[in-house]
Structure 1
């Protein structure tokens, strides 16, 4: 189904899942919340900085978030569409910090970023939603925002009157003059840190490094155990029975089963469905 699992990366070498992983959602609720937040944050960023810069941050944050998630992914399937959203949130925070003096409703904007971030991070504590992609996306979005989002389109936002952060033009002019001196150093450090993060994560993923071996408590940033679900890192087994163009999967651990209206599915998808039934 395109979800990310450690066995698929290390044993089956299915690196194509690194590109499907950031496009998948863990159900309708996750889909609606994620897309709503992307629209809310993305529209305001596009109005202020343009679609090219925001689109570049969106794509790169999703990819770096996927690489971070691949370092911590376990045997259960997980999806990471929130990585791109957190990239936009990190970029928004970066733009807010860089242009703090020129915004008139800065605390409202800051509260919005914090509220959306906390809400989606809590959603990531549920099974199958990967929070490590969110963390990686946020950090990469912040660093990219420090490089790419230095010149907001003040006149365009003033005409649209739809920006999340309104401007004080006098403060904007003074801020721009001061930034000409210190901004190059800040941007250079940010792009250097982003490059190191991207290269380091890429090399570590290709080497098959499992960060869970070095950080035993990190898994609790991704999944909190509950009576309704399990966070155990284990392989599940299911009994399969096909009849009348239907496939019945029965979990050998808890007896749960699901009847599917098709029989021609791959072994990888069968394993993913088995994990869902047994969890």
Structure 2
């Protein structure tokens, strides 16, 4: 739970952006775009499958668990890539400057994996690609960071309202067809819990109290509720990942245990149907 009040230089987030763009360019080259395919709209399904898209059958029956990670670095088209990378720059650089590359990198990667696990449990007849789960993890971490460090912020109500609106809008977009909202939800929940574990700041006044006489210093660097959040989130993370991975590799379909959950990813209307 250690914390440094120094400002970090952001280099990991730009490197992640470069890696995603480079991977997309490689896929475009392999697909011989735009000659054989319109890369502005999307990369072909067969090529994405071959390069590591999230696919339940291959993970469970062909022992290709690495797809839980590789799918995070693939994108279906230019618009998909640009939307995710712009969001990553907007969200990730500020977090990395405040908390450093290790914590942000861990949140990004584990949130992406968490999103992949939940997606695989519910969406088993189509592939999924994209960094959205990892991005939602960063959003979730921002929200829990606000909660656990509540005492040090001013205008906290405005910040909370803004974050909730942004998260709600992005999750609402996920009910459209061809959007993997389970990856968004899984990533968000993972990042939300990780924020309580990794983004804890000393309680208000602790840094200043270090320069006071010993008798007037704050005794604890963190508040009781911060410790409660930290312990609870750690337990939930361990349990969640364990249960999710066990269910996944046993080949279970989470829709059998939750008959209405599919509406979280797609709501059918007269204009479109949901076939996940």
TM-score by length of 1: 0.68
Question: 2:137 matched to 1:137?
Answer: no
Return closer, same or farther for 1:6/1:91 CA change in 2, 3 Å cut-off.
Answer: same
Alpha-carbon offset, residue 98 of structure 1: 1.2
Give the 3 Å change call, closer, same or farther, for CA 218–170 of structure 1 in structure 2. Answer: same
Question: For 1:27 and 1:225, how far apart are their aligned partners in 2?
Answer: 24
**CA deviation digits over 1:222-243, x for unaligned, max 9?**
112245543124xxxxxxxxxx
Aligned to 1:33: 83
Alignment partner, residue 73 of structure 1:
123
Output the CA distance in 2 between the equivalents of 1:13 and 1:228: 38
2:275 corresponds, among 225, 228, 232, to 232
Q: How many residue pairs are counted as aligned between the two chains?
A: 217
- Asked if the contact 1:76–1:128 (Cα under 8 Å) also holds between the matched residues in 2, the reply is no
Counterpart CA distance in 1 for 2:129 and 2:263 is: 16
Query: Is the 2:151–2:204 Cα contact (8 Å) retained in structure 1?
Result: no
Q: 2:161 maps to what in 1? A: 111
Question: Does structure 2 conserve the Cα–Cα contact (< 8 Å) formed by 1:66 and 1:80?
Answer: no
Does the CA contact (< 8 Å) of 2:148 and 2:229 recur in 1?
Answer: no
Q: Within 5 Å, give how 1:153-232 maps onto structure 2.
A: 180-182=222-224, 183-232=226-275
Structure 2 unaligned segments of length 5 or more: list them. Answer: 1-47, 210-217
- Tell me, which stretches of 5 or more residues in structure 1 are unaligned? 153-167, 234-279
**What are the residue-to-residue correspondences of 1:85-96 with 2, within 5 Å?**
85-96=135-146
| Cα distance change on mapping 1:26 and 1:230 into 2, 3 Å | farther
Residue 244 of structure 1: aligned partner? none
Q: Distance in 1 between matches of 2:252 and 2:230?
A: 30
Q: Provide the C-alpha distance between the structure 2 equivalents of 1:30 and 1:123, rounded to a whole number of angstroms.
A: 13
Of Structure 1 and Structure 2, which has the larger fraction of its residues in strand? 1
Change (3 A) 1:108 1:90: same
Deviation at 1:172, TM superposition (A): 7.3
Say whether the 8 Å CA contact 1:127–1:229 is kept in structure 2. yes
Partners of 1:149 and 1:69 lie apart in 2 by 26
Are residue 59 (structure 1) and residue 109 (structure 2) matched? yes
Q: Is the 8 A contact 2:54 2:116 kept in 1?
A: no
Give the deviation of 1:121 after TM superposition: 1.5
Residue 66 of structure 1: CA displacement? 0.8
Aligned-residue Cα RMSD (Å) equals 2.7
Q: Deviations over 1:46-67 (max 9, x none)?
A: 2221221111111111111111
Secondary structure, aligned partner of 1:224? coil
Partners of 2:81 and 2:155 in 1: CA distance: 30
1:84 equivalent to 2:134? Answer yes
User: How far did 1:115 drift?
Assistant: 2.9
